[in-house]
Amino acid sequence: MNFWCYRTNKFKAEFFWKELNEKQQLRQGWGYDDGQDLRNLIFDGGARRNLPMLKVKKDDILLVPHLPEYGKVAIVQATQDWDKGYRFEIDEIEKDYGHIFPAKFIKFFVRNNGNVSGNLQSTLKNLQRFWNINHYADDVKKLLDCAENDLLSGISYEDRLENAVVKVFDEKTFSSELYKEFNNEFTRETWEFALEKGLQELFPFYSVERVGGKLEKYHGTDILVKLPGINGEFSYAIAIQVKDYQGIVGEGVCEQIRKADNYWKDNDDVELIDKIVIVTRAMKEQNKELPKNTDIKFVFAEDLQDILCAVGKKVIGKLTNGKGE
């Protein structure tokens, strides 16, 4: 038996809980396109990060934070080997979460309960979506041996507060309305300024710089994100091209961003680790003909909404903190 942690979207806890409790299955995100089926993965879009989940075997135990609600953790057991029981079926309402893994609910515990070891409390803060915790097997077995009633005390006031916010906050509506407002405020090259500032909010420890202009014809980059290497110097980079397009995206966009491959190594001494094209108004569905095995990642309107939502929450947090000072 192996032990794992499995993280889902905490703002969709009601959806994931219903899937687990009523249908005996766990779903996972970045499953919004038929090409993301892990049995025949031809379109990444983040789905590749789900491949390690196929290591789960029948009877393995998984801890799932924020199920059935914020501050609680569900203990779940795999009912089949996941590489055999896996299905892909995009949810008709959510338009995502197509990865389906067979599992059953056992019990849940409160994260701050006295029976929960410091090791587990610490690992549950991990931001990964899936990771192994075999080294804490004894800590998990202790919870399995406890009566569920003994695991439900100890929820903190902080968890209660956050649970109330999560229940009320409608992320989908917020994301949609914010995206509409950005489209009202920004067009063409002004999107570059907005995204530069937005990415600076999301990644304050990275260098985010708008680099378009006369030299763009040589590097095909609108925004360059530089990440520090192990010595603290900026050693890696992500080239981003921003297109305020609607409808079909042409091959010329790919040719343009590929100019970044050699340029930044030669002129800024950084190794390019990713190339991303953000298309502000075009939809995934309209662009299924784009090559899916390319080294270029596309962020279409639907994905951009999620990014802007994250930026919006950061900005709201800063504004709220500012008012409290």
Give pLDDT tens digits for 261-287.
989 988 888 899 999 999 988 888 788
CB atoms near residue 112 (< 10 Å):
14
324: pLDDT strictly greater than 50? no
Tell me, what's the pLDDT at 319? Answer: 62
Residues 231-254, mean pLDDT to the nearest whole number: 86
Beta partners for residue 306, in sequence order: none
Contact between 41 and 35 (Cβ < 8 Å): yes
Sign of the dihedral through C-alpha 155, 161, 162, 164:
positive
Domain(s) labelled CATH 3.40.1350 in the chain stretch across 171-324
- Which bin fits 100, alpha (ψ -120 to 50), beta or left (φ > 0)? beta
Q: What is the CATH number of domain 171-324?
A: 3.40.1350
Residues 233-242, mean pLDDT to the nearest whole number: 90
Percent over 70 (pLDDT), the chain = 92
Show the tokens assigned to 27.
Answer: 């779903």
Domain(s) labelled CATH 3.10.590 in the chain stretch across 3-166
Tell me, what's the pLDDT at 147? Answer: 92
Q: Could you report the per-residue pLDDT of 191-232, keeping only the tens digit for each?
A: 988 899 999 989 988 999 999 888 888 999 999 999 988 877
325: pLDDT strictly greater than 50? no
132: pLDDT strictly greater than 70? yes
What value does the mean pLDDT of the chain take?
A: 88
| Rounded Cα–Cα distance for residues 277 and 244 (Å) | 11
Residues 45-60, mean pLDDT to the nearest whole number: 94
> 21-39 burial string, b = 16+ CB within 10 Å, else e?
eeeebbbbbbbbbeebbbe
The structure's pTM equals 0.60
187: pLDDT strictly greater than 50? yes
Under CATH, what is the fold of the domain 3-166? ph1033 like fold (3.10.590)
Q: Which residues have C-beta within 8 Å of that of residue 97, sequence separation ≥ 6?
A: 12, 15, 27, 28, 29, 31, 90, 91
